[in-house]
Amino acid sequence: MNDTLSRDIENARGQNAWEEKATVFSDYKNRVIGGTLYLVATPIGNLSDMSARALKVLSEVDFIAAEDTRNTLKLLGFFGISRPVVSYYEYNKDKKGEYILNRLKAGESCALVTDAGTPAISDPGEDMVRLCAENDIPVTSIPGCCAAVCALSLSALPTSSFVFEGFLQGGKSDKKKRLEELSLEKRTVILYEAPHRLKDTLSDLLDCFSDRQIAICRELTKLNEQIIRTTLSEAVRIYETEEPRGEYVLVIKGRDERDSKDEFWREMSVSEHVEFYTKLGCEKMEAIKKAAKDRGVGKSSLYKELMGK
Ligand code: SAM
């Protein structure tokens, strides 16, 4: 707390002293201060989720740094806000980061907004916060929506401890390797995924996690919001015939020792079990290997059974 604030709070006296103190504190907290970076959360779909404080800060800062200036100008236009906007995104973040930092050092206030949700969560805002922290520039948050938390709260899966992975990084084999590691995680796992990669990711998840519960959270807070609470094998089936559209968060149940065998194949015959994997795109021998592994038998004995020998 700075001296002016302490003095103002101290000066609040009389019958309604506590109310006055609270008002002084809240006015102080809501004041836009020069040389500060404001991380302003924006809606992830529903514009009514914009907070009053976010609007105030966006209207009062010296300038706004935006991931996609066109999106942000539309948002500002909707709320009748007119402030200078500069772009700050993945491919200019080094150069623009220094530029924003210099303006902050010169005493200007800046609001950082990203395409949607809370800046710095799976977007370049993370680097801007680090740069400010390294340069002793105050950073404060105007909290609001975050797709990961919104999805977790809707998942009906355990929420007391969870791991947020964001987007899986790298090529196919890096992703698979990461999923293998995550499959050992006992906490609920949260992933972000793009629609064009959803089918592959679901089938990789089934492969690595076996048949667990998943909540597929699509288009949160939007008109077509959809939460599919199902199992991984069913999720793969659903998207065999449905084209993924919109934005997705996947929430997957952590590993549970009691049902770690995840025997989704229990009701299947050997040939159905093998066919299940071939339908997911495996070569026949790979499908046999996987089915054998699930059943805890050798692949040659499963092959013999399959051939009726
Ligand atoms: N900073 C953002 C946040 O706080 O959630 C996340 C930014 S990240 C670049 C964008 C990803 O978040 C999308 O690809 C999607 O996985 C997820 N996402 C954002 N909005 C969403 C929505 N309305 N419904 C479902 N997922 C959403």
Integer angstrom CA distances of residue 207 from 18, 43, 257 = 59, 34, 18
Rg value, the chain, Cα: 25
Side-chain half-sphere of 135: how many Cα atoms within 13 Å?
20
d(Cα 235, Cα 254) in Å, to the nearest integer?
17
Residues 6 or more apart whose CB falls under 8 angstroms from that of 135 comprise 101, 105
Identify the helix (H) or strand (E) that includes residue 7. Answer: helix 3-11
Given this model, what pLDDT does residue 262 score?
60
d(Cα 35, Cα 32) in Å, to the nearest integer?
9
d(Cα 23, Cα 29) in Å, to the nearest integer?
10
Q: Which atom of ligand 1 is nearest to the CA of 217?
A: 25
Given this model, what pLDDT does residue 13 score?
64
Ligand 1 mutation pick, 113, 146, 249, max ligand atoms within 8 A of CB: 249
Q: Which atom of ligand 1 is nearest to the CA of 146?
A: 4
**Domains along the sequence of the chain with CATH:** 31-145 (3.40.1010.10), 148-252 (3.30.950.10), 260-306 (no CATH)
Given this model, what pLDDT does residue 25 score?
60
Distance 265 CA to ligand 1 centre (A): 33
List ligand 1's pocket residues with C-beta within 6 A.
44-45, 114, 116-118, 121-123, 146-148, 192-194, 217, 219-222, 247-249
Given this model, what pLDDT does residue 5 score?
61
Distance 51 CA to ligand 1 centre (A): 18
Q: Classify residue 266 by burial, with Cβ atoms within 10 Å: 0-12, 13-18, 19+.
A: exposed
Given this model, what pLDDT does residue 12 score?
63
Distance 123 CA to ligand 1 centre (A): 10
d(Cα 32, Cα 83) in Å, to the nearest integer?
14
Ligand 1 mutation pick, 40, 44, 75, max ligand atoms within 8 A of CB: 44
Q: Which atom of ligand 1 is nearest to the CA of 114?
A: 1
Distance 221 CA to ligand 1 centre (A): 11
Q: Which atom of ligand 1 is nearest to the CA of 41?
A: 4
Give the position of tokens 């679901």: 202
pTM, two decimals, is: 0.79
Instruction: From first to last of the 309 residues of the chain, give the pLDDT tens digit.
Output: 556 666 666 666 666 676 776 666 666 667 899 999 999 999 999 999 999 999 999 999 999 999 999 999 999 999 999 999 999 999 999 999 999 999 999 999 999 999 999 999 999 899 999 999 999 999 999 999 999 999 999 999 999 999 999 999 999 999 999 998 999 899 999 999 999 999 999 999 999 998 999 999 999 999 999 999 999 999 999 999 999 999 999 999 998 865 555 667 877 888 988 998 888 888 898 889 888 888 777 788 888 888 886
User: Nearest C-alpha to atom 8 of ligand 1 is from which residue?
Assistant: 122
Q: Which atom of ligand 1 is nearest to the CA of 117?
A: 4
Q: Which atom of ligand 1 is nearest to the CA of 167?
A: 16
